[in-house]
Chain A
Amino acid sequence: MNLEFNEDQIDALREFMNVSIGAATASMANLLDAFGTMHIPKIEICNSDELADKIEASIDSNSMYFVIKQLFTGKFGGECMFVISQESALNLGNYLYNAKNSSYDDISDAVLELTNILTSTIISRLTQELDTQVQFFVPSLQFLDSTSVVSDDDVAEYSKIIIISTVLDFEDKQIKGNIYVLTKDKAIESLKILIDKKIEEIYG
């Protein structure tokens, strides 16, 4: 199985993801009544044993994190992971509950709700771009330090992983989070076929 992507495939995937994140940023902007700065999505293909280090390198090692993972299945199946620092999560909880110091349960609830909006918007928009569909599983929430975001169990079924990552940045509300979309080997092959079909449609 050839799991490598060529330049045009990476470019197309980044652009589809950009459109998807744009939709998610707008949904969050409505929720937070704030303007979100969009960042260019980063696409990386790595071995599963490199994932933990790559994620650790993209977040602050001194913070604790709420980590929400949501599986989705279909031709393009995988896992969406939202990583938000304790501080950002508290700001989110305080804003949504109009409180000064939200409880852990309220923060967890706010983060889960936010993740639900983000994941469903990003993945649904991405699969719409790719003319396919997915089913979502119930998300799970953990409170972890930066070195524990990815466990060995998380990557046990993967060999190669595509990491599509970006930062959601609502500076006015001091809310910032990292989104990672991880896909398994079989999904990578399906994804390449879907992308090639779209490239053919556009390039003619």
Chain B
Amino acid sequence: MKVLVVDDSKIARMGVIKSIKEVYPNAQLLQAINGLEAVELYEKENPDVVFLDLTMPVMDGYEALGKIMEINKEAQVIVITADIQNEAKLRVLVAGAKNMYPKPINGEIMAKIFKQDILL
């Protein structure tokens, strides 16, 4: 399984990666530090799942989500964000994300995400 983790913060990416490894130790992990890099990597690598932050420089998560869904309308994108407003969740779900979770996440939440939100 190939997973793309997108966040401008290294510690945030490491936190998501640590949680993924607890659930899928053999997952192939790709990283991007902004939305633009994420879109380019998505197009090139076609990952099974994307974990996407919203508040990022260069290109934010909303725009990146839109572009990824244009590339593949079946893309499995999970938004992991500090923005816990209901409207933010509504926006990303309407744009095609599978679900949105508040930061920080742990192995238990990650297991729930893979069970409930992701088709493998």
Please report A residues at the B interface, Cβ cutoff 8 Å: 8, 11-12, 14-15, 18-23, 25-26, 29, 35-36, 38-40, 129, 198-199, 202-204
Top 9 A-B residue pairs of the complex, sorted by shortest distance between their CB atoms = A22-B82, A15-B9, A35-B87, A19-B82, A12-B11, A26-B84, A18-B82, A29-B85, A38-B55
Partner-A contacts on B (CB < 8 A): 8-12, 14-15, 18, 54-57, 81-88, 102-104
Known: A11-B10, A22-B83, A40-B56. 19 other contacts (CB 8 A): A8-B11, A11-B9, A18-B82, A19-B82, A20-B82, A23-B82, A23-B84, A25-B83, A26-B83, A29-B85, A29-B86, A35-B85, A35-B87, A38-B54, A38-B55, A38-B83, A39-B55, A40-B55, A129-B104
Chain A residue, CB-CB nearest to B56: A40
Residue pair A35, B88 in contact (C-beta under 8 Å): yes
- 25 A-B residue contacts at CB 8 Å? A8-B11, A11-B10, A11-B11, A12-B9, A15-B12, A18-B9, A18-B82, A18-B103, A19-B104, A20-B82, A21-B82, A22-B82, A22-B102, A25-B84, A26-B84, A29-B85, A35-B85, A35-B88, A38-B54, A38-B55, A40-B56, A198-B11, A202-B11, A202-B18, A203-B11
Is there an interface contact between A202 and B15, defined as CB atoms closer than 8 Å?
Answer: yes
Once bound together, how far apart are the Cα atoms of A117 and B2, in whole Å? 41
Specify the main secondary structure of chain A where it touches its partner: helix
Chain A CB count within 10 A is highest, among B9, B11, B12, B57, for B11
- Write the nearest CB–CB distance from B105 to chain A, whole angstroms: 11
A199 lies within 8 A of B11 (CB) = yes
Complex CA gap A204/B21 in Å reads 12
Give every chain A residue within 8 A of B103 (Cβ-Cβ): 15, 18-19, 22
> CA–CA, A11 to B102, complex, Å?
18
Bound-state Cα–Cα, A131 to B82, Å: 18
Complex alpha-carbon distance, A73 and B85, angstroms: 29
Contacts of A14 in B (CB 8 A): 9
Task: Give Cα A21–Cα B102 distance, bound, in whole angstroms.
Answer: 12
Measured between beta carbons, the chain B residues less than 8 angstroms from A35 are 85, 87-88
Considering the chains assembled together, what is the distance between the CA atoms of A39 and B8 in angstroms? 13
